[in-house]
Structure 1
Amino acid sequence: MNPLDLFLEPLQYEFMTHALITTSIAAILCALLSCWLVLIGWSLMGDAVSHAVLPGVVLAYVFGAPFALGALVFGFIAVSLIGAIRSTTRVKEDAAIGIVFTTLFALGLVLISATPSQTDLNHIIFGNILGVSNAELAQIALLAAIAFAVLVIKRRDLTLYAFDPTHAHAIGLNPKFLGALLLGLLALTSVVALQVVGVILVVAMLIIPGATAYLLTDRFSRMLVIAPALSVASAITGIYLSYWLDAASGGLVVVVQGCAFGLAYVFAPRHGLLSKLHQHRIAQPATP
């Protein structure tokens, strides 16, 4: 089989084209948002929100509502609870995040175990890329378009907030609003990615692309290009590997992203391990 056949054969199946389109959409959105999350230091927040939506998805299934609606509601609930605990108690942010996301995630697991169903709800946890329907594809595209539009429109304000919230406040911006907006976009993005890779792997798509781009460039504008490009390439590669290896699609997408980060960690021109070792050798004084 020649290389062209390796590329074209999976495209004969509708479930593969749906998987490629859906995963690419989620990859672009997650990668863009991950740039801000990595810059601000909100990686743990991404973990919290992505796990906290689980009970909302299960309850949406129970009541026959769209999964995205339940996930979005609980995403905002999680963000609100974390903010309330942080602002009204002595508990610090990392502890508040841990309390909220573990409790809500555990509630979701309990609901799954207690819900009589002819449907395997485990795909909520592990994803179901190859089972995306036309309706789900349209829903993912709509939610992603909304989140993408907000990110594009508010990108300058969000970037200033990420670098210097004090200066943002001094020029008339509202840091609390921008923080809340970013958390809302995080909840919305988690819903989009949830249907692709599941609750557990969403956090990887929200962190790895931005972290990889952060090693490859010192300019944020370039991060916003590098992260989505790497994320989409990883997503497509992972989907193709899952077809030819008959392995878990979502897991392979994240594994490829992790490999891309590993390569950047070692070979990044200025911030990679080899570059650091070279700089260290140059800085060492010569021994007589």
Structure 2
Amino acid sequence: MIDTLLFPFQFPFMLNAFWISAMVAIPTALLSCFLVLKGWALMGDAISHAVLPGIVLAYIIGIPLIIGAFAAGMFCALTTGYLSENSRVKQDTVMGVVFSSMFGIGIILYTSIETNAHLDHILFGNMLGVGADDLWTAGIISLIVSVLLLLNWKALMLHAFDPAQARVSGLHVGLLHYGLLTLLSLTIVATLTASGLILAIGLLIAPGAIAFLTVRRFGAMMAVAVGVCMISMLAGTYMSFFIDSAPAPTIVLILTGFFILAFLRRNLMNRRQQTNTV
């Protein structure tokens, strides 16, 4: 029994998958707390889809794919912010138009070139094919994003709750706004190999949503989000070996299960409070 349970750890590709899971769990969980509080779920979805044309162009030019992904993510974020601030159209509508158009451009570019690269790996990740370069990229980006979020979490929290109060308090609201968008783009680049473009939104939203339903203080929310994301990432990678599935969708399903449990627990607690009040 013990040999069977430890069997996945005998393969180098599984060890790399565990390593990258642990690396990206921290920044995605921390960032998800701010995205949930600020209501930026669609922003994360938009940027995760919008990086596809940047990846394809980077491949055509012959530069590292992460450069193209980051450039496309920042272009999407800045374009969305400019259009929402200078038009009568609401931000969610602008994001829908921008991300769908960029995703469409990416698909057209990809189908117009001849390459041996698999589109499935870009869309859904290739965690079992992670190499040393992917580990270094994910590790460095994860460290930078995590440190910046932890050093500035109070200012970012105030900006997420009440931007007007943050401005009155003397904080640089514009810098916080576009700084958070930059960290979001970097995090999506870090998770590109692990979860792909489509499933990255699950890592960027679910941990924060679960923690939001579980605790009341923001510090505890970040801790719970990191714990839930780390457990889901490692457990999903481990389970995928035995059930012969891809790690990324397995991880997202585990996060979904945690969310359902947190939702049911919160509803039960609310009913008990109403009963005690009556």
Q: Which amino acid aligns with 1:278?
A: R
Q: Secondary structure at the match of 2:19?
A: helix
Corresponding residue for residue 195 of structure 1: 193
Structure 2 residue aligned with 1:233, among 231, 234, 243? 231
Secondary structure of the residue aligned to 1:25 is: helix
TM-score (norm 2): 0.96
1:275 to 253, 269, 276: 269
Tell me by how many angstroms 1:181 deviates: 0.7
The CA distance in 2 between the partners of 1:6 and 1:163, in whole Å, is 48
In 2, the alpha carbon distance for the partners of 1:88 and 1:99 equals 15
Larger radius of gyration: 1
Match for residue 72 of structure 1? 70
Matches within 5 A, 1:89-100: 89-100=87-98
For residues 99-178 of structure 1, what are the structure 2 equivalents within 5 Å?
99-178=97-176
One-letter amino acid of the structure 2 residue matched with residue 18 of structure 1: N
- SS, match of residue 103 in structure 2: helix
Shift of 1:282: 4.2
Contact 2:26-2:142 at 8 Å conserved across structures? no
Q: Larger deviation: 110-119 or 95-104?
A: 110-119
Determine the C-alpha separation between the residues in 1 that align with 2:116 and 2:95.
33
Out of 9, 27, 30, the position equivalent to 1:29 is: 27
Deviation for aligned residue 1:283: 4.8
Corresponding letter in the other structure for 2:273: Q
Partner of 1:250: 248
CA distance in 1: counterparts of 2:211 and 2:162, whole angstroms: 20
Q: State the one-letter code of the partner of 2:90.
A: K
Q: 1-side partners of 2:38 and 2:4: how far apart? A: 41
| Aligned mates of 2:43, 2:216 — CA distance in 1 | 23
5+ long unaligned stretches in structure 2: none
Q: Contact 2:37–2:160 at 8 Å: present in 1 too?
A: yes
2-side partners of 1:186 and 1:119: how far apart? 25
Which position in structure 2 is the counterpart of 1:219?
Answer: 217
Residue identity over aligned pairs, in percent, reads: 38
The whole-number CA distance in structure 1 between the counterparts of 2:17 and 2:26 is 14
List structure 1 runs of 4+ shifted beyond 3 angstroms. Answer: 279-284
**Which residue identity is paired with 2:73?**
G
User: How far off is 1:188 after superposition?
Assistant: 0.7
The two structures, once aligned, show a CA RMSD in angstroms of: 1.3
- CA separation of 1:282 and 1:156: change in aligned 2, threshold 3 A: closer
CA distance in 2 between counterparts of 1:247 and 1:13 reads 16
Shift of 1:172: 1.3
- 1:38, 1:109 → 2: CA distance? 29
Q: TM-score, normalised by structure 1?
A: 0.93
Structure-2 separation of matches of 1:6 and 1:231: 25
Shift of 1:187: 0.7
- Report the residue type matching 2:133 in the other structure: A
How far the C-alpha of 1:66 sits from its partner, in A, is 1.5
Tell me the amino acid that sits aligned with residue 193 of structure 1: T
Question: For residue 206 of structure 1, what is the aligned residue in structure 2?
Answer: 204
Number of positions where the alignment pairs a residue of Structure 1 with one of Structure 2:
278
Gaps of 5+ in 1: none
CA distance in 1, matches of 2:110, 2:275: 55
